[in-house]
Amino acid sequence: MYYGGIDAHLSYLTVALVDKHGVVVWQGSLATRSPERILEALAPFRPLEVVVETCPFWPWIHELLTPAGIGFHLAHAQRLRAIASSAQKNDQVDALLLARMLLAGLIPEAYARSAAQREGLRLLRHRAGLVRLRTLAANRIHSQLHQSRLQLPREKLLRKEARAWLASEAWPRLQPEQRSLIESQLQLIDTLAPLIRGLDRRIQAQAQDSASAQLLMTIPGIGFYRGLLLATELEPIARFPRVEKLCSYAGLAPVTRSSGGHTRHGSIPAGANRWVRGALVSAIPSHLRAAPESGLSRDYALLKARLGWRVARVAAARKLARVIYAMLQRRESWRATGSPQEGTLGTSSRPDLPR
């Protein structure tokens, strides 16, 4: 049995192979422009398990090695402190350390998504990127309006009636360069709008074809985008042995440090899946509007009165994560009746799909 560590770069891979005793049997660099040479170099070493850190290059390495019968492991780069804190750090040292950590079973593994999952996430994140650009353009317009003591609610700026207001109320009070800046940002918003609508149609079609997405869309406040995002990010749900693992993966479990008989609970961690956390946290206001009498909404209201809306929103998102975990495991849809703790799940033959 052989174990390999790969330090991946755009133009080359640094590879270190060790046997079951940890003895180095091969070490070198391989050009990425010749994938067949990579397979030829690894061919004499079978059976072989290799590990690669999370990076932009791991998908093609996975697709190259897996069909050749080489076991593939994806290491969580942020958790590889042994490499990050090494006094001697170079490609050869990193690759060898990865190989020996794999041999010892010390690799903090990340989930290697399938090609279909990666393609679905590209669509969702492309849409998020365009929306972010539209928001930046809207913020620049608001900045110019505020400099002239003009106010326009954010939700109205993207509506058609806002253009008439800008022409009648704002234009006479703005300087020429301000008007020019606002016009350019409006053109950018007009360019992005049809692109976002086109992506929304594709996302809606994919969500309708996904049983898990439709299941999650029975939750008030979760529509096509959030439903498909959460289904794609979290499946297969079996990779989370306990619901606490899912909460930690989403970055919704507070950091806990215990030493000398003292336990301290800190803030939520920064190094987590920001897409899952963002979808869950942003779903809470939508859920409160759509289902104000649900158990989740009642719990939020009680916690908000004691600790404020910021803490309450994260706590409600954590509870929503627990509900989603149970829904995906049991294949049960949402229902608003029942106790706040356990009555949010039920069966339904015809889910109500919120927009």
Peptide bond into 47 cis (omega under 30): yes
- 304 HSE (CA, 13 A, CB side): 13
> 80, 122, 86, 134: which is closest to 102 by C-alpha?
80
Q: What tokens does 209 get?
A: 């074809």
Q: What are phi and psi of 8, to 5 degrees?
A: -95, 140
Report pLDDT digits (tens) over 280-331. 999 999 999 999 999 999 999 999 999 999 999 999 999 999 999 999 999 9
DSSP structural state of residue 269: P
Distances from the Cα of 165 to the Cα of 7, 129, 172, 275, angstroms: 57, 28, 11, 36
Do 23 and 9 meet the contact criterion of CB atoms below 8 Å apart? no
**Tokens 């932009």 belong to which residue?**
56
CA–CA separation, 55 vs 123, rounded Å?
19
DSSP structural state of residue 166: I
Following CA atoms 129, 233, 97, 21 in sequence, which dihedral angle do they give, to the nearest 10 degrees?
-160
Report pLDDT digits (tens) over 164-212. 899 998 999 999 999 999 999 999 999 999 999 999 999 999 999 999 9
pTM, rounded to two decimals: 0.84
Sign of CA dihedral 153, 154, 156, 157: positive
* Model confidence at 238: pLDDT above 90: yes
Q: What tokens does 207 get?
A: 């969500």
> Where is 73: in which H helix or E strand?
strand 71-75
Q: What tokens does 26 get?
A: 């091969």
> 250, 209, 252: which is closest to 227 by C-alpha?
209
> Where is 103: in which H helix or E strand?
helix 91-104
pLDDT band, residue 346 (cuts 50/70/90): very low
Least confident range from 58-67, 229-238, 271-280: namely: 271-280
* Residues 354, 223, 155: CA angle, nearest 5 degrees: 95
Whole-number pLDDT of residue 350: 30
CA–CA separation, 61 vs 19, rounded Å?
21
CA–CA separation, 46 vs 68, rounded Å?
11
